[in-house]
């Protein structure tokens, strides 16, 4: 089969799930990831015959896409701001909203020396992006999942970025972290009732440890972040959180009850209340 035949097969098999341009984009990503081919190859060499091993790879990818597996897990990496990051079944796929959270921190803080802690780091996306844009900052990143931390460490190595990774539970009473100027967290925040509305590409493939807050306590992780902040944040320091828009009001109340000041909400690119900043 030629490249064009494969492209047509992808369009045919995936048409009920995705738009035509999206399928073409997926197809080109696969060509780049598997064979190192430029996106223009499809237009320039539609009659190129694929070898049987190349055809096998595309066939497996097509079947995985039909089963709703996210493209990022099929190719094993994703883009986050200017970084290419490895992702796998133990790490959440970083979202554009989280890029906005990092953007807010960069907007607020110039390249002076700061110590910053990322709680629930997953692939390491937040900590690594901050280190990339602010090389003078000292970055610490925490996760309970050793498997996720292994991926985050591989990303740090691949990008030659120095981040101090810590394996710890945000629920533990004392995590060995230094005092810091900023705390950032995108903790698990999906509440159980939201599960029924979730798409299978998320629910069936992304780690539930990264997605869901405890069933009876949807704000559990925010409470833990605030407790850690009371111990580890320097006076005048700030907290930046990605939040669940459904709990925006409760979170604002929680900020005040913990004694933090100047709570500010920011909307994401979809117009949802998605980020919260407050200060000690």
Ligand X SMILES: C[S@@+](CC[C@H](N)C(=O)[O-])C[C@H]1O[C@@H](n2cnc3c(N)ncnc32)[C@H](O)[C@@H]1O
- In the complex, the residues that contact ligand X under the rule CB under 6 A are 92, 94, 98, 120-123, 125-126, 142-145, 148, 169-171, 186-188, 209-210
Considering the complex, what minimum distance in angstroms separates the CB of residue 18 from ligand X? Answer: 23
Q: Which helix (H) or strand (E) holds 142?
A: strand 138-143
Are the C-beta atoms of residues 190 and 198 closer than 8 Å to each other?
yes
**Closest CB to ligand X among residues 170, 180:** 170
Start-to-end C-alpha separation, the chain: 62
Cα angle value 192/196/200 (rounded, 5°): 110
Helix (H, G, I), strand (E, B) or coil at 19: coil
Considering the complex, what minimum distance in angstroms separates the CB of residue 143 from ligand X? Answer: 5
Considering the complex, what minimum distance in angstroms separates the CB of residue 166 from ligand X? Answer: 9
**Closest CB to ligand X among residues 98, 181:** 98
Are the C-beta atoms of residues 132 and 85 closer than 8 Å to each other?
no
Q: Which of 86, 252, 231, 116 is nearest to 170 (CA)?
A: 231
**Closest CB to ligand X among residues 94, 218:** 94
Considering the complex, what minimum distance in angstroms separates the CB of residue 37 from ligand X? Answer: 29
**Closest CB to ligand X among residues 27, 247:** 247
């Amino acid at each position: 089969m030629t490249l064009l035949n494969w492209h047509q097969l992808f369009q045919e098999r995936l048409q009920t799930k995705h738009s035509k341009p999206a399928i073409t984009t997926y197809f080109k990503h696969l060509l780049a990831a598997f064979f190192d081919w430029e996106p223009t190859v499809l237009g320039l060499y539609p009659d190129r015959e694929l070898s049987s091993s190349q055809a096998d790879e595309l066939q497996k990818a097509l079947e995985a896409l039909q089963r709703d597996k996210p493209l990022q897990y099929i190719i094993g990496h994703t883009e986050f701001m200017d970084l290419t990051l490895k992702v796998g079944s133990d790490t959440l796929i970083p979202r554009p909203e989280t890029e906005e959270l990092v953007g807010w921190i960069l907007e607020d803080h110039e390249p002076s020396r700061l110590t910053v802690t990322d709680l629930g780091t997953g692939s390491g996306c937040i900590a690594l992006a901050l280190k990339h844009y602010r090389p003078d900052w000292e970055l610490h990143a925490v996760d309970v999942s050793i498997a996720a931390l292994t991926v985050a460490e591989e990303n740090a190595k691949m990008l030659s970025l120095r981040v101090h990774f810590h394996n710890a539970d945000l629920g533990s009473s004392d995590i060995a972290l230094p005092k810091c100027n900023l705390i950032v967290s995108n903790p698990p925040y999906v509440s159980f009732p939201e599960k029924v509305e979730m798409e299978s590409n998320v629910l069936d493939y992304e780690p539930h440890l990264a997605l869901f807050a405890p069933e009876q306590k949807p704000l559990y992780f925010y409470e833990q972040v605030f407790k850690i902040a009371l111990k580890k944040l320097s006076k005048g320091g700030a907290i930046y959180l990605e939040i669940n828009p459904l709990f925006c009001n409760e979170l604002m109340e929680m900020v005040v009850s913990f004694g933090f000041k100047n709570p500010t909400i920011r909307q994401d690119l979809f117009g949802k209340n998605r980020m919260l900043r407050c200060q000690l």
